[in-house]
């Protein structure tokens, strides 16, 4: 992300007055939204270079949500970041993260020690 941010700052300077501020993370050289097909192509190319297959935009979205929940980001915050209509949608799709977290806590003895 630091690399993307640095590249975008350079592109912003180069584009000068033609830069369009969108608040997006991944943009064209002028700041506008990247065509989803180009983003998918870039992700697929990077995944293949790493020996991974079947990786797409949804994979990144799912990974983002899973990592946020595993890191302890509150369940009500994650749907806001994903644009879900409700916490229930996020809970239904990513509830396995909470279940695995509970299992890990049990294996670590948190429940036995009253924590």
Q: Indicate the domain borders of the chain.
A: 53-115
Helices assigned H by DSSP within the chain: 2-15, 36-49, 57-70, 78-82, 87-107
Question: Cα 41–45–60 angle (5° rounding)?
Answer: 75
Give dist(CA 34, CA 70) in Å, integer. 29
Name the range with the highest mean pLDDT among 11-15, 33-37, 74-78: 11-15
pLDDT in tens, 3-34: 888 889 999 999 999 999 998 888 899 999 98
pLDDT at 113: 46
8 Å CB contact between 38 and 28:
no
């Amino acid at each position: 992300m630091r690399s993307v941010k640095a590249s975008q700052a350079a592109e912003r300077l180069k584009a000068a007055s033609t830069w369009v501020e969108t608040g997006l993370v991944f943009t064209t050289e002028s700041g506008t939204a990247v065509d989803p097909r180009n983003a998918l192509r870039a992700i697929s190319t990077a995944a293949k270079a790493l020996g991974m297959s079947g990786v797409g935009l949804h994979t990144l979205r799912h990974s983002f949500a899973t990592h946020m929940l595993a890191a302890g980001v509150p369940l009500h915050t994650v749907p806001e970041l994903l644009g879900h209509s409700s916490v229930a949608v996020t809970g239904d799709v990513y509830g396995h993260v909470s279940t695995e977290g509970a299992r890990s806590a049990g294996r670590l003895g948190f429940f036995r020690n009253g924590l």
